[in-house]
Amino acid sequence: MSVTRSSAGPVQDLVPVRRALLTVFDKTGLIDLGKALAERGVEILSTGGTAKALRDAGIAVVDVSEVTGFPEVFDGRVKTLHPKVHGGLLFRREVPSHVENARALGISPIDLLVVNLYPFEKAAATPGAPADDVIEMIDIGGPAMVRAASKNFASVAVVTSAEDVTALVDELSAKGGATSLKFRRDLAGRAFMRTAAYDAAIATWMNNDTFPSKLTLTAERSQLLRYGENPHQKGALYRLPDVGEATIAHATQHSGKELSYNNILDAGAALEAARFLMYPCAVVIKHKNPCGAATHPSDLLDAFKRAHAGDPLSAYGGIVAFNRPVTEAVAEAIATSDKFFEVIIAPGFEGEALGILTSRTKWGKNVRILETHVAMDAREPVRGVLDVRSVSGGLLVQDRDASIETEFTVTTKRQPTRDEWRDLRFAWEICRHVTSNAICFAKDSTLVGCGAGQMSRVDSVMLAARKAGDRARGAVMASDAFFPFADGILAAADAGVTAVIHPGGSIRDMDVIAACDARDLALVTTGYRHFRH
């Protein structure tokens, strides 16, 4: 790459690094870098704790205060905000007037800046952190220097991450102690992305408006995918800041092939479904919809067996999520020749569970096992992360559907039995994770039939009834939205359903209630709708 500017000479491709400024909060790799620079005769400028760490390692350092002639003040809040620092980063070496100004003012060039910023994101994410402590982690001098050096990438290299330190040492070795223009521009691009993300994190923390006039999102690319939803599409996974709850993006993958775009979508759906269930549960997902789910007050193995039995045909090649650590007994039940899962998700894996899952079947070596490390408990509040979707030319943003209803109204003459109440609550929590129009049949805290994504609610009822078969006898039904007519209720009753839960709110609610009374069904309303498009 060659760059020329008006009223200036050509920019040099190779710029020798003779003078560097190192000031870092995270000192990982600092000493090795300092030694590498010192061995090349580079003059190292530094500040505070960074300078002390380098000196303690026997590396010669010049304090920035010696260069500026001004001490660090206000507990280190001001130390690099000085013309001899910013001038050394910003003046254009190819512009004669800049060079003459710098010489007259005693400003020497700085060819390399190594900075990592105060960990504001970590401080802001710490539960209960005092506001004053978070504010102190807003870096001022660091971003200012990073922006200055990045703007002047024609002459200055700027490093803002440990990964770039390794690349810098390799570049200096390959280029005889110099950096190339392409390398400097690439570094500058990454540096501007870092300051943009940093400012976005601060703006988000400072702003109390859920939907601000300017939405800033910051995410770190965690992996490139082989392709997107289809082979002709490209794809990548980006990780949002850790909010302290179980997530797919922050999970540890223990085995198997790389996750695909569709794996990640399905894994996210499975995790969300498991998160909202109170008791130990297993949820099996196929194409983002639950095809099997079950809970048990204490026995995760029993929950898994019933979840898989709910629809074993659809479960084959699906994704299973647990809200409790997987035991060896559960792993034994999963790893059988008649089953096959693409992804297994859990907060943890006990004893030899991981070894069992990866070695007992032919598919075990390929299964992706994700450990969230964070417990899932429906009693814990869901963090305030926005739900963001793309549309043509924009983004749709909403807060997450995290409500957990506990107050219900029986609108029919017959009250649900104790067992029906248990199954109604379970079906209601599963139904919110099914694509609308969503219908779930449940029996014995087990999903036995599901109707998803149909244009007609009665069609969804018919699908769920067909899936449930004889298990519909004595089952309950949940609907994500009200029944506009009694036809769906009557179809469920014909299949053997004895109790129904839905939001209510239709202009024909009384017709639906009358139909239930005529068939001796118990009908419960929640007052909440849970569409999932």
pLDDT single digits (tens) 101-133: 989 999 999 999 999 999 998 898 888 899 999
DSSP 214-275: S-----EEEEEES-SSSTTS-EEEEEPPP-SS--STTPEEEESSPPPHHHHHHHHHHHHHHH
Q: Token pair 């700027």 is at which residue? A: 158
Give, as one character, the DSSP assignment of residue 21: E
DSSP 275-326: HT-SSSEEEEEETTEEEEEEE-SS-HHHHHHHHHHHSHHHHTTEEEEESSPB
On the 0-12 / 13-18 / 19+ scale of CB atoms within 10 A, 275 is buried
Q: What percent of the chain has pLDDT over 90?
A: 78
DSSP 479-516: ESS--SSSHHHHHHHHHT--EEEE----TTHHHHHHHH
Question: Which residues, listed in sequence order, are joined to residue 113 by a DSSP beta bridge?
Answer: 21, 158
* Fold (topology level) of 242-371: Cytidine Deaminase; domain 2 (3.40.140)
Judged against a pLDDT cut of 70, whether residue 41 lies above it is answered with yes
Sequence-ordered list of residues with C-beta below 8 angstroms from that of 523, at least 6 positions apart, any chain: 410, 411, 412, 489, 499, 500, 501, 502, 512, 513, 516
* pLDDT of amino acid 244: 80
* pLDDT of amino acid 74: 78
On the 0-12 / 13-18 / 19+ scale of CB atoms within 10 A, 497 is buried
Nearest to 252 by CA among 385, 366, 337, 349: 349
Rounded Cα gap, residues 80 and 85, in angstroms? 6
Q: Is the peptide bond before 152 cis (omega within 30 degrees of 0)?
A: no
* pLDDT of amino acid 503: 96
Average pLDDT over residues 458-477: 97
* pLDDT of amino acid 259: 94
> Which residue in the list 151, 175, 254, 305 is annotated as catalytic?
151
The answer to which of 88-92, 193-197, 359-363, 384-388 has the lowest mean pLDDT is 384-388
Judged against a pLDDT cut of 50, whether residue 52 lies above it is answered with yes
* pLDDT of amino acid 377: 75
The answer to which of 201-215, 229-243, 282-296, 332-346 has the lowest mean pLDDT is 201-215
pLDDT per residue as tens digits for the range 17-35: 999 999 999 898 899 999 9
Judged against a pLDDT cut of 90, whether residue 355 lies above it is answered with yes
Task: Identify the residue with better confidence: 389 or 69.
Answer: 389
Exposure string (b/e) for 426-462, b if CB count within 10 Å is 16 or more? Answer: bbbbbbbbbbbbbbbbbbbbbbbbbbbbbeebbbbbb
Judged against a pLDDT cut of 70, whether residue 56 lies above it is answered with yes
Most confident of the ranges 4-8, 208-212, 502-506: 502-506
Sequence-ordered list of residues with C-beta below 8 angstroms from that of 502, at least 6 positions apart, any chain: 478, 479, 481, 482, 483, 523, 524, 525, 526
Query: Would you state the structure tokens that stand for residue 267, as one six-digit string?
Result: 């894994």
* pLDDT of amino acid 400: 87
Query: Would you state the structure tokens that stand for residue 129, as one six-digit string?
Result: 């952190």
Degrees, nearest 5: CA angle 211-250-387: 25
* pLDDT of amino acid 4: 47
The answer to which of 8-12, 319-323, 500-504 has the lowest mean pLDDT is 8-12
Indicate if 409-525 has the same CATH topology as 242-371: yes
Helix (H, G, I), strand (E, B) or coil at 36: helix
For residues 529 and 506, the answer to whether their CB atoms sit within 8 Å is: no
* pLDDT of amino acid 8: 64
* pLDDT of amino acid 402: 84
The letter for the amino acid at 391 is V
On the 0-12 / 13-18 / 19+ scale of CB atoms within 10 A, 51 is buried
* pLDDT of amino acid 162: 84
Query: Would you state the structure tokens that stand for residue 82, as one six-digit string?
Result: 């000085």
Active site includes 308? no
Active site includes 373? no
Rounded Cα gap, residues 276 and 404, in angstroms? 8
CB neighbours (10 Å) of residue 468?
27
Q: Which homologous superfamily is 409-525 in? A: AICAR transformylase, duplication domain (3.40.140.20)
pLDDT per residue as tens digits for the range 191-239: 999 999 999 999 988 888 888 888 888 888 999 999 999 999 999 999 9
Task: Identify the residue with better confidence: 77 or 279.
Answer: 279
Task: Identify the residue with better confidence: 282 or 385.
Answer: 282
Domain ranges within the chain, ordered by starting residue: 15-206, 242-371, 409-525
pLDDT per residue as tens digits for the range 132-178: 999 999 999 999 999 999 999 999 999 999 889 999 999 999 999 99
Sign of the Cα pseudo-torsion (239, 240, 246, 247, in order)? negative
The 3-state secondary structure of 372-440, one letter per residue: CCCCCCCCCCCCCCEEEEEECCEEEEEECCCCCCCCCEECCCCCCCHHHHHHHHHHHHHHCCCCCCCEE
The answer to which of 286-290, 382-386, 503-507 has the lowest mean pLDDT is 382-386
Judge: domain 15-206, CATH 3.40.50.1380: yes
* pLDDT of amino acid 383: 64
Judged against a pLDDT cut of 70, whether residue 67 lies above it is answered with yes
Rounded Cα gap, residues 533 and 530, in angstroms? 10
Rounded Cα gap, residues 177 and 40, in angstroms? 7
Average pLDDT over residues 382-410: 87
* pLDDT of amino acid 405: 87
* pLDDT of amino acid 296: 97
For residues 55 and 188, the answer to whether their CB atoms sit within 8 Å is: no
Q: How many CA atoms lie within 13 A of 74 on its CB side?
A: 8
> Which residue in the list 98, 122, 287, 339 is annotated as catalytic?
287
Q: Say what the alpha-carbon torsion angle 438, 464, 230, 345 is, to the nearest 10 degrees.
A: 80
Q: How many CA atoms lie within 13 A of 301 on its CB side?
A: 9
Helix (H, G, I), strand (E, B) or coil at 191: helix
